[in-house]
């Protein structure tokens, strides 16, 4: 009986200790994702091509979400979304160069360089390179899709885009972005699908793709419909892990109600990646 009491007390102490060890998080800001030689060669690169990383300090093998800000490829700043925090994941938020100071495909090249930096460095922060997800809103969603579907951008950094754990763009263009069309003098109401459109790079072997948009009646012109067409074409191509989610009642600014979905999907896919190793 005495031994049973001792075991019971020890189990309580162990459980209390376990739950009292809260995960602590830290943020490192304005880390350059291009090499020093490139940073020193261009003032605008040195200013814009930086990222912030928020990560759990006392946890290992966690997932990472790379979050690209929106702003039509003409404006916007990196930021860590509060509701993403404290979910046992890292969040990386990069800046990238903007039009009109640069033109396509420079901002896509920057996005790919930021993703490559995460692949090359997240393990030293404790993260798992097999659990890197790319997301972002609007222009950020477009960049996420371009980097993940058009393999040439990461190939420039000797990284296979299929190593991305998941692509989860929010309300991103799947046709050629309207700013790219503006650069070419093409009206915003004329849809173009060329090699700078995610739709151009539909393929069966792509990472899992979860398309999230606002209500089709409230979204920017055609944004839901082009994502729905992307969903359909991925299915036709034989991609078995694509889905689309429409947030009824929300317009293009649908970021915050979609964050819990993003976190849930990241955890679901991460768990599926771990299962073969159990």
Query: pLDDT tens-digit profile of 254-274?
Result: 999 999 999 999 999 999 999
Q: What is the mean pLDDT of residues 27-45?
A: 97
pTM of the prediction?
Answer: 0.92
The pLDDT tens digits for 211-220 are 999 999 999 9
Phi, psi of 208 (to 5 degrees): -50, 140
More confident residue, 87 or 13: 87
Structure tokens at 26: 């830290």
The pLDDT assigned to 276 comes to 65
Q: What is the mean pLDDT of residues 42-55?
A: 98
pLDDT class of 21 with cuts at 50, 70, 90 = low
Average pLDDT, the chain: 93
Q: What is the mean pLDDT of residues 193-198?
A: 98
Cβ count within 10 A of residue 38: 14
The pLDDT assigned to 275 comes to 83
Is the Cβ–Cβ distance between 104 and 72 less than 8 Å? no
Question: What domains, with CATH codes, occur in the chain?
Answer: 25-277 (3.40.50.1820)
CA angle, 107 as apex, 105 and 110 as ends, to 5°? 110
pLDDT higher than 90, residue 7: no
Structure tokens at 259: 């964050």
């Amino acid at each position: 009986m005495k031994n049973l009491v001792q075991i019971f007390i020890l189990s309580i102490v162990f459980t209390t200790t376990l739950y009292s060890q809260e995960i602590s998080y830290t943020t490192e800001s304005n880390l350059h994702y291009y090499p020093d030689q490139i940073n020193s060669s261009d003032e605008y690169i040195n200013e814009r091509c930086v990222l912030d990383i928020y990560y759990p300090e006392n946890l290992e093998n966690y997932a990472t979400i790379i979050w690209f800000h929106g702003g039509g490829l003409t404006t916007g700043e990196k930021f860590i979304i509060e509701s993403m925090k404290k979910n046992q994941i890292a969040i990386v938020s990069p800046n990238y160069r903007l039009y009109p100071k640069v033109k396509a495909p420079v901002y896509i090249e920057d996005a790919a360089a930021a993703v490559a930096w995460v692949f090359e460095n997240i393990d030293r922060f404790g993260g798992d390179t097999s659990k890197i997800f790319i997301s972002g809103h609007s222009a950020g969603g477009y960049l996420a899709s371009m980097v993940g579907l058009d393999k040439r951008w990461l190939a420039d950094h000797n990284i296979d885009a299929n190593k991305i754990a998941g692509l989860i763009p929010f309300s991103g263009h799947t046709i050629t972005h309207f700013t790219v069309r503006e650069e070419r003098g093409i009206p915003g109401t004329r849809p173009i699908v060329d090699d700078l459109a995610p739709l151009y790079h539909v393929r069966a072997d792509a990472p899992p793709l979860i398309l999230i948009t606002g209500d089709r009646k409230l979204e920017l012109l055609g944004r839901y419909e082009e994502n729905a067409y992307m969903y359909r074409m991925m299915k036709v191509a034989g991609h078995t892990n694509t889905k689309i989610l429409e947030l009824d009642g929300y317009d293009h600014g649908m970021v915050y109600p979609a964050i819990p979905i993003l976190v849930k999907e990241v955890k679901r896919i991460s768990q599926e990646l771990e299962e073969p190793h159990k």
